[in-house]
Amino acid sequence: MFYQTRLRTITLILALGFLAVYASFGSYFAREIVIEITILAILAISLDFCAGFGGMVSLCHGAIMGISAYAFSIMSVKLGLPSVPSAMIGLMAAVVFSGLVGWVTARTSGIFFIMATLAFGQMAYTFFFKSRWLGGDDGMGGIDRFNLSWLGVDMNDALVFALFGVAVLLLVYVIAAILLRSGFGRILSGIHSNENRMQAVGINTANHKAMAMAASGLMAGIAGILAAQHTLYISPELLIWTVSGEVLLVVILGGIGTLIGPVVGAIMLVMLKHELSNYTDYWHMVVGMVLIFAVLAGGRGIFGQIEYWLITRHSPKTPHLPPAKEKDLA
């Protein structure tokens, strides 16, 4: 069950602050890293929402992101719609797709759920890969960023766009946190804990899980729009299942079921990747070892493990954050 504890709020402020400072005072390359981190972190929050709190370990979140990116690009490039309505349609496409995946797969669980989502993701990937109208495996370009000149800022500036990404990451975190603290989110955690009992007290758990997948799809969709506007070009590579796998890795690395953990995980993975690739082509091995260590250390992930230490230091019998400590998001 989710609580926006003080520790999580502090970690969120530190993480976002770090990204903003790193982008502001870093090189062009640093700004690219920041935007890469924000996209990955948003997608990881989206996955943690359904996997960490609803028990739905999806392997199609890359595809959901890609569908949003494609729908957005089709609307703006092929049909010439302005970027904001195009983005809305992109998000709707992501919500519909993930809601459909959720609806179909809600009665399965565990390995069957994972395989079913993988199948959906691969179907979407194949569709875009084969589509000549959308450029097939060459992808499509000609995408524009949001026009924020009325605010006096130029989105084509790397710093502005990086800070925009950080702001969107904050927005997605707040959306996820509010949903998880609501009656809807509480019941979702209840389903994760004991689906059978949740039905016995009158919850249609299949519908509820489908709605949770749709909500998760909205967040993944936001990552997709950001990804399309970042590179101004999209290709079916966004939808490959390894993208979903990498997001799952980020969630586990940071701490599944903590919401802020995935943000920490995204920062760590991207930074590690860029730092290590200066020294070796085998940076994946180092990341792999970090992941194995994180899993062996209790599976709580990096943030999750630190949080666990801090809590159990005070009350060893109840590894749980009491609601009294909760600070309202507002």
Of positions 50, 71, 89, 198, contacts other proteins by CB under 8 A? 198
Phi and psi for 208 in degrees, rounded to 5? -65, -40
| Residue 323 backbone zone (phi > 0: left; psi -120 to 50: alpha; other: beta) | alpha
- Count other Cβ atoms within 10 Å, centred on residue 306: 17
Our finding on whether 200 is near other proteins (CB under 8 A) is: yes
Give the CA radius of gyration of the chain.
19
Our finding on whether 27 is near other proteins (CB under 8 A) is: no
- Select from 84-92, 159-167, 272-280, 319-327 the region that touches other proteins (CB under 8 A): 319-327
* Closer residue to other proteins (CB): 54 or 66: 54
Q: Nearest-CA neighbor of 57 among 12, 105, 24? A: 105
Our finding on whether 312 is near other proteins (CB under 8 A) is: no
Site for other proteins in 132-161 (CB under 8 A): none
Our finding on whether 186 is near other proteins (CB under 8 A) is: yes
* Farthest CA pair distance, the chain: 60
Of positions 152, 202, 313, 330, contacts other proteins by CB under 8 A? 202
Q: What is the dihedral of CA 184, 51, 219, 117, to 10 degrees?
A: -120
* H helix or E strand, kind and range, residue 234: strand 233-234
CA dist., res. 79 & res. 322, Å (int): 52
- The 10 Å CB-count burial string (b at 16+, else e) for 131-143 is eeebbeeebbeeb
Our finding on whether 194 is near other proteins (CB under 8 A) is: yes
Our finding on whether 199 is near other proteins (CB under 8 A) is: yes
Name the pairing type of β-strands 233-234 and 140-141.
antiparallel
- Select from 101-109, 179-187, 231-239, 261-269 the region that touches other proteins (CB under 8 A): 179-187
* Closer residue to other proteins (CB): 314 or 317: 317
Count residues near other proteins (CB under 8 A): 29
Question: What is the nearest approach in angstroms of other proteins to the Cβ of residue 321?
Answer: 10
Q: What's the distance, CA 253 to chain centroid?
A: 13
Question: What is the nearest approach in angstroms of other proteins to the Cβ of residue 328?
Answer: 9
Q: Binding string, 58-97, against other proteins, x = CB under 8 A?
A: ----------------------------------------
248 close to 262: Cβ distance less than 8 angstroms: no
180 close to 49: Cβ distance less than 8 angstroms: yes
Site for other proteins in 205-264 (CB under 8 A): 208
Site for other proteins in 288-307 (CB under 8 A): none
234 - beta bridge partners?
140
Our finding on whether 277 is near other proteins (CB under 8 A) is: no
Provide the token pair at 117: 């989502």
- Select from 75-83, 118-126, 182-190, 301-309 the region that touches other proteins (CB under 8 A): 182-190
* Closer residue to other proteins (CB): 298 or 322: 322
Our finding on whether 178 is near other proteins (CB under 8 A) is: yes
* Closer residue to other proteins (CB): 179 or 251: 179
48 close to 261: Cβ distance less than 8 angstroms: yes
Question: What is the nearest approach in angstroms of other proteins to the Cβ of residue 94?
Answer: 18
**For binding to other proteins (CB under 8 A), which residues are involved?**
1, 178-179, 181-184, 186-187, 189-190, 193-194, 196-204, 208, 317-320, 322-323
